[in-house]
Amino acid sequence: MAKKFTILVIPEGTNRVNRFSLPRIVLPMLLALVVGAVGMAGYWFHQYHALQANLPDLRNLQDQARRQEAQINAFASCLSDFKQQMSKLKSFNRRLRVMANLEKPANTDSVFGVGGPEVHVGGSGIKLTNTMGERRVMNMQRDLDQLTSEAEAERSIQKELAKFLQERRSVLASTPSVWPVHGWVTSGFGYRISPFTGKRQFHAGLDISTRPGTPIVAPADGVVTFVGREGGYGKMVAINHGHGLVTRYGHLKSHCVKVGQKLKRGQRLGAVGSTGRSSGPHLHYEVLMSGVPTNPRYYILD
């Protein structure tokens, strides 16, 4: 059997013959190469058409992913708002407890405790791939569960407070729960550096700065027990609200009440001034419980 193939090439118009000898194994190799190339071309042609057919599905998946991302962002925003509202609710409940003379919550009470290990969330619901998106949803779901529990607890507290306060409406009406004047609190309750002596000194109330002549109103029902000048307070008015509560108003420009007069919450008692030991027009507002100065902010609800 021949071991080689000979190919004769005779160019047109010449008598010369070109002879090429190839090993016998070359022919099947060339044939296999051609078949392989055709097969590969067919495979990639098929893949191309499959990809073209799947492009609409891929676009739909991309659109769906974008919509899910937008929904997650919206959920996160709502969760943040929920946290803020819950914080306000807890603060409001805390003030109600103070007004009702109930036990004041411990300072260690946190508004919310969020965090902890990222555990697997089972059951039905949003299920993404095990990516940052999934962990984000898991964290939000955990925070939401905790906020829901907080909300239920606060609702229960409010129901009890509402019942308690309903039974003590007269006490509530006599509790100073609104601002006597609106302005800027330039000095709070507690120790401060005195603007007159430069030394550390206890400040028994709130200094609320505003324009001179601004009306001052009673923050609760009560009876006027003092009208006149009182040392560094200048012109002062004092109101006894009963149940051990007394409020005092210093540095007045003028007053429009008299001793023994009964006042209702919101009724005018005088005007802001700068009498007595004062560096400018403002109201010095005090709340005393059984003769002991108390932070007026504990009682202000509005």
Query: How high is the pLDDT of residue 10?
Result: 73
Give the CATH number of domain 184-298; options: 1.10.357.10, 2.70.70.10, 3.20.20.100, 2.60.40.2140. Answer: 2.70.70.10
- Segment 233-249 mean pLDDT: 94
Question: Going by C-beta distance under 8 Å and a sequence separation of 6 or more, which residues neighbour residue 195?
Answer: 279
Select, from the ranges 20-24, 68-72, 279-283, the one with the highest average predicted confidence (pLDDT).
279-283
Check residues 196 and 261 and name the one with the higher pLDDT: 261
With cut-offs at 50, 70 and 90, classify the pLDDT of residue 302: low
Amino acid at 199: K
With cut-offs at 50, 70 and 90, classify the pLDDT of residue 93: confident
With cut-offs at 50, 70 and 90, classify the pLDDT of residue 223: very high
Residue with tokens 């021949």: 2
Please check the confidence at residue 281 and state whether its pLDDT lies above 90: yes
What percentage of the chain reaches a pLDDT higher than 90? Answer: 30
Check residues 249 and 141 and name the one with the higher pLDDT: 249
pLDDT per residue over 41-76, tens digit each?
887 877 777 777 777 777 777 777 777 777 777 777
With cut-offs at 50, 70 and 90, classify the pLDDT of residue 228: very high
Q: Would you say 24 and 2 are in contact if contact means Cβ atoms under 8 Å apart? A: yes
Q: Per residue in 92-121, is it b (16+ CB within 10 Å) or e — as a string?
A: ebbbbbbbbeeeeeeeeeeeeeeeeeeeeb
- Segment 143-170 mean pLDDT: 75
Delimit the domains of the chain by residue range.
Answer: 4-72, 76-173, 184-298
Q: What is the dihedral of CA 173, 240, 278, 276, to 10 degrees?
A: 150
CA-CA distances (angstroms) from residue 3 to 7, 68, 174? 13, 70, 121
